Amino acid sequence: MRVYIIIGIILSMGFRAAAQDKLLVAGSGNPNILLLDKQTGKVEWQHALEKGEECNAVALTQKGEILYSYKRGAKLVTWDHQVVWDYKTPDKTELQSATLLQNGGVLLGICGIPAQFIELDKKGKEVNKVTLNLEVERPHSQFRQVFQLRNSNYLIPVMAKQKVLEVSRKGKIIAEHQIEGKAFSSLELPNGNLLLPCGDNHYYIVIDRKTGEELKRVNALDIEGVALLFVGQILQLKNGNLLICNWYGHTKDTTVDEPQLIEIDKNGKVVWSLHDKKNVGKISAACYIDNFRLPDLK
Task: Please say whether the beta carbons of 50 and 88 come within 8 A.
Answer: no
Task: Please say whether the beta carbons of 141 and 191 come within 8 A.
Answer: no
pLDDT in tens, the chain (298 residues): 454 444 444 444 444 446 799 999 999 999 999 999 999 999 999 999 999 899 999 999 999 999 999 999 999 999 999 999 999 999 999 999 999 999 999 999 999 999 999 999 988 899 999 999 999 999 999 999 999 999 999 999 999 999 999 999 999 999 999 999 999 999 999 999 999 999 999 999 999 999 999 999 999 999 999 999 999 999 999 999 999 999 998 876 555 689 999 999 999 999 999 999 999 999 999 999 999 998 887 6
- Tell which residue, 64, 71, 69, has the closest CA to residue 45: 64
The answer to the question of residue 107 being in a domain is yes
- Give the residue numbers spanning the domain of 207: 21-292
CA distance 216 to 107: 29
Q: What is the pLDDT of residue 253?
A: 59
Residues whose CB is less than 8 angstroms from the CB of residue 2 and which lie 6 or more positions away in sequence, other chains included: none
The answer to the question of residue 181 being in a domain is yes
User: Reading across the β-sheet that carries 106-111, which strands appear in turn?
Assistant: 94-100, 106-111, 115-120, 126-132
Cα dihedral 205, 236, 264, 64 sign: negative
Q: What is residue 108's three-state secondary structure?
A: strand
Residue 256 CA, chain-centre distance (Å), reads 24
How confident is the model over 18-52, as pLDDT tens digits?
Answer: 679 999 999 999 999 999 999 999 999 999 999 98
Task: Please say whether the beta carbons of 59 and 72 come within 8 A.
Answer: no
CA distance 58 to 17: 25
Please give the share of the chain, as a percent, with pLDDT higher than 90. 87
How confident is the model over 103-125, as pLDDT tens digits?
Answer: 999 999 999 999 999 999 988 89
The answer to the question of residue 2 being in a domain is no
We report the CATH number of the domain holding residue 143 as: 2.120.10.30
The answer to the question of residue 9 being in a domain is no
The answer to the question of residue 7 being in a domain is no
Q: What is the pLDDT of residue 296?
A: 83
Q: What is the pLDDT of residue 86?
A: 96
- DSSP bridge partners of 207: 194, 214
The answer to the question of residue 142 being in a domain is yes
Task: Please say whether the beta carbons of 140 and 150 come within 8 A.
Answer: no
**What's at 253, amino acid-wise?**
D
Alpha-carbon Rg for the chain in angstroms = 20
Task: Please say whether the beta carbons of 237 and 243 come within 8 A.
Answer: yes
Task: Please say whether the beta carbons of 283 and 261 come within 8 A.
Answer: yes
Q: What is the pLDDT of residue 1?
A: 47
pTM above 0.75, yes or no: yes
CB atoms within 10 A of CB 281: 18
The answer to the question of residue 27 being in a domain is yes
Indicate the number of domains in the chain: 1
Q: What is the pLDDT of residue 289?
A: 97
CA distance 145 to 56: 7
The answer to the question of residue 160 being in a domain is yes
